[in-house]
Structures are given as structure tokens and as C-alpha cells.
Structure 1
Amino acid sequence: MSTQDPRTKHHDDDFPAQVQDQPGLTTETTPVPDHGEDSWTGRNRLSGKKAFITGGDSGIGRAVALAFAREGADIAFVHLPEEAQDAEATASLVRDAGRTCTHYAVDIRDDETAAEVVRQAVEDLGGLDVLILNAAYQRAREGIDTVPTEEIRRVFETNLIAHIIITREAVPHMKPGSSIITTTSIQASQPSPPLFDYAMTKAAQKAFTEALAQELGPKGIRVNAVAPGPIWTPLIPATDFPDEFVQQFGQDTPLGRPGQPAELAGAYVYLASEEASYVSGSVIPVTGGKGF
């Protein structure tokens, strides 16, 4: 593959102004994010592994599911019922790669649902080697004096509590050599005021990753995180950002553009692979040059 200028490898101009309802859909996102459909070439780095992904229907989750499948992994993932169309598209990509795929339309904010979906995924996959904690919710806030309590709860229940429950249920099924990977964010270290509650959960995810790596290391389970910068996914036009923010999204990075989901997949593949056998408690920033 020829070397490409990272400044112009993907869309590097203004996006059209656009607004979506939560949770956001790929088909309504312009331009459509690149998940690696035409670019990811598998090298059997995850052959035979069984991976469960939260939020696997679109954006980063879809890119990870696609890359994992092309690397030889079977996939199970969870998504909201409203994301069924995106989920089917992701499942088709996985199956086209010759791997099995099951997905579940549930809201993991319900404690028993979160626990049950892990049990179902383990049964459907026949085991569990990689857990990707990726599902997230965010909304742009006008200020601390106006944010509704129920919105704060939704952010914390989706981004933190559900993932703690899912991890609690998954770990007993994971053998030495297994891997847990959390999607944190540059917001963990560079919080934006409109995303203060989301940023709080991302900072907590970093602490969760580091603490869990210490707990599970003696069991042979590695725990790491990926910290995306501005990545173009359906979540962005569904966050209630001002038009000009969406139009110029990611242009404040040193590379001058936002990242695409496909550009994150390699970090997850690496962390799940044997190449990262001595990597645990680490956070890999994928930020277009922004400091983390």
C-alpha cells in the first residue's frame, strides 16, 4: 500500500450542517463514515477469537467488528432497538468476512438486561476472548444550571454502570490470554464544558481500565483502552452541537481533519492480539495529534 498524506487521506473540508435524533444513524450521516469496508485487509491476527462489543452497530463499534471479523474473530454485539438497521448492516459485513455474528437489540442501562445479554453472547459465541466496552451516550449541555438530572443519569448509566455490570458478568467466562478494551476519549483529559458529564465518565473509564488491569493481570487477563479524538460517527450530528461545530468538526487537530472509524480499528486489533501480550493498563490515544 502506498504512503498517503494523513491530512488528506479522508474528508478534510467542511461537513454539511446536519442534525439527527439520538442515537443517530449511519444512513443519515453525511458523508457516510468510513468503517474500513474497502480498506481493511485481514491477516489472521485474531483467528478463532470470540469478541463481544457494546455499541457495535455503527461508528467505532462497526469498524472494530469489521476489522475483527476480517482478522478471524466471531462477533456478538449489542445495540439499541432504534439502531436495528445499522446493526443488520454491521452483521452483514461480519458474515461477508466468513465469520459468525449475533446481535441483540437491548438497552444495557437495565441491570438484568446487561447481565443477561452477556450470558447470551457467551452461549452464542461458545466462549469469550475479547470484551469491547464501546457503547456511549452524549449530549451538548447549555450549562450546569440547566442540565436535567435524568440526562446525567442516562450518561452515567450508559457509559459507566452498564459497562461495570457487563464486565462483572463477562470476567468469569474469560480465560488467561483474554482481553478487555474500553473506549475512553480525549475528553478524559481535555474536557469540553458542553460535554462535562460525558467527559466525567470518560475520565472514570480511564481509572476503571487502570484499576482493572491491576486486578485481572494475575489472572492473565489484559485490560486496556483506546482514547479517540474527534471521530466522524452518527453520534456527532446527534449530539445537538451548533451547526458551525459540526461543519468544522475535527479541523482543530494538527492533522486538520476528523478521524474516521476505520482509523481506530487497528488500535483495537493490536490490543486484542498476541502482539500486545505484555500491554495492560495502557491507553492508546488516536487523536490526530491532539495531546492526551
Structure 2
Amino acid sequence: MSILVIADHDNKVLKPATLNVVAAAQKIGGDVHVLVAGADCGAVAEAASKVAGVAKVLHADNAAYGHFLAENLGLLVAEMGKGYSHVLTSAGTTGKDFMPRVAALLDVAQISDIIRVDSADTFVRPIYAGNAIATVQSSDAIKVITVRPTGFDPVAAEGGSAAVESVGAAHDAGISSFVKEELAKSDRPELTSANIVVSGGRGMQNGDNFEMLYKVADKLGAAVGASRAAVDAGFVPNDMQVGQTGKIVAPQLYIAVGISGAIQHLAGMSDSKVIVAINKDEEAPIFQVADYGLVADLFEAVPQLEAELDKVL
């Protein structure tokens, strides 16, 4: 039994989520192969070959895959996946885009967002925004699976010595094209891989007030997130959204400021190791999941927190 993991990357760097997906693959059992598809992504293939537990790296380097268009990538993964018992990738933006196409092309069901492997054909995944946990068993010959990275501890990025094998297949479906991308540049860590996340909600009142959180985050070396309510209100861009329809995070420390704790938001951060909540409403649902809660006006508490950090950092 061999398992194919589709690497997450930006053509330059292998993203940490791939290490979590490899960990999930190892729990299934069998040889783990990693497919690196992109353009001028040789450095990524080299990094993937060093990941502990990886037996082989398949390197598909072609302009058709440079921007990870689902229509092109789906054709490649479906073709490669026919030789494997399981095809896995992370349940991120790219994975959620191309994996349903892979499942359709292989005529199998997709198993989405798994957080645990019980056996080679049985997996556990959250449903209803994490309010229920479903155990899913599949009899399909090929299991097409997306993995929630926060559900698995990552394998080591070093220690492996897998062979890198070139893949010549070049699929251009011709039904979509890349136009442009606009990337928000920040010196702060990426939200999904940060060890500390500071998030603001509707209680921040406006986007300017997020400056308070940016100052605290910079002192802690943290990423900054937001609830859907804050994003919908236009306080911050939607790439900062944490929650069921945003990004799933599980940092060592999650600080929720002015966030009531709607189910949608809790689904995206409840796996955090330590949760700290600051809210003036003592009945806010966020306090039910928080390890530490402060009932206070955030406009007084956050500056005080910043001042205390100045003393110790």
C-alpha cells in the first residue's frame, strides 16, 4: 500500500502543513510518496526529499502548475493517484479547490478535513462546526482525503533522504487562466503556522483599533487574526479571518480580544493549546473554551497588557 501526499508550497518553500499531512499518511501505514507540482520548484522538491518518513518525491515542474490552477492540478493528481491506495493533501485553500475534482475524476467520494486516522479505511472528521465528530469508513479503492493540519503533530522536516523522480506529465485544461494575485505583505508570522495568535472581534469597533493588537503581536512575535464579524464589518481583510469559513489555527497561545465566541469562530481555534479571552461580557461563549478569561474593557486591558510586556520583554 502506497500513499500519495500532495505538497503545499509556493514554488519556493515547502509549507509546514505538508509535515502534518505526512504524519497523517504515516498513521495509515505504507510507503509515503510526495508530489511536488509547480513551476521552478526544484528547491521545494529538495526540501520534501529531506522530510522524515518520505520514501519518494515526485517532481512535476511545468508552467501549467505554476499558479496551482485546480483544473490543471486536478488532472495531474488524478492521473498520478491511480497508482495509490490513498491521496492526501491539507485542507487549505488549494487543497479544497483541486481535491474535489480529483475525487470526481477517480469516481470516488472525498473524505474531508480529517483529524484522526483509525485505520486504513476509517477516519474521523468534525461536522456541524465541530459540534459533532463523525467516524467515516470508505470502501473506495482509492481514498481521496483532505487533512486538517492541526489534528496531527508534524513529522521532522529533516532526516529523510528520499529519491527525487521527475514527472513529465503536463496538463493544461485550457478552461482557466491566471490573471493576477495581490498578496498582503507582513513581517509577522503566517497565521496558520504561528505559535502565538492575537485575534480581534466585533468589539474592536473599527479597523484603526486593531493597531492595539498589532503592537501586542509585534512584541510577542505573533500573527494577527480576526473573527468573521470583524471581517464582515470591514475592519480587516478576509485573509485574517479565523473560523469555519476562514483559517483553522492551533497555536500554542491564542488571545481572543473582543470576540464573543460564535460557533463559527470556535471551530477555527478551539484546538489551540492555551486560550486567553478578553471580553467585557462575562456571559460571552468564548469563556467556555478559554483557559484564562479576563472580564474587562479591552480598550483598557490591551494597553495594560502592552505596558506589562514592555517590562518583561
- Taking structure 2 as the reference length, the TM-score comes to 0.36
More strand by share: 2
Higher alpha-carbon Rg: 2
Higher helix share: 1
